[in-house]
Amino acid sequence: MAKKKTTKKATAKKAAKKTKTKRKPNAAFMKPLTPSSALAAVVGAKALPRTQVVKKLWQYIHAHKLQDSNNRRNINADAKLRPIFGKGTVSMFEMTKLVSKHLR
């Protein structure tokens, strides 16, 4: 069997793939948004980027042990989260959708 010769083009492509450039954050995610009064009771009234709102929500969920013990993807709403979610239990994927309605 003969060995394949690697061309300069092929090695240049591989080298280009290995060098990564740092991704710039999306401006839409970094734009500060004002939470509704129901959401402000959990994350605070100060305008925050969407990413920070979700981060603070998770801090609240973990601090109050609201993650379902059997299915960790579900969140059990307490008195503060029920007005935001609109129901007693939501999935973590559904949570961000419901929270976005409370941001302006």
Q: Give 70-79 pLDDT, tens digit per residue.
A: 999 999 999 9
Domain count, the chain: 1
The pTM score is: 0.74
pLDDT attached to residue 18: 63
* 4 belongs to a structural domain: no
Q: Are 81 and 90 in contact (CB under 8 A)?
A: no
- The CATH number of residue 83's host domain is 1.10.245.10
CB atoms within 10 A of CB 103: 18
The answer to whether residue 24 sits within a structural domain is no
Please, what's the largest Cα pairwise distance for the chain?
73
**What's the domain range around 54?**
30-100
Domain annotation covers residue 89: yes
Encode pLDDT of 4-29 as tens digits: 666 666 665 665 566 678 888 788 77
Tell me whether residue 67 is in a domain. yes
What digits encode the pLDDT tens for the residues 41-50?
999 999 999 9
| Residue 90 in domain | yes
End-to-end Cα separation, the chain, in angstroms:
66
51 located within any domain = yes
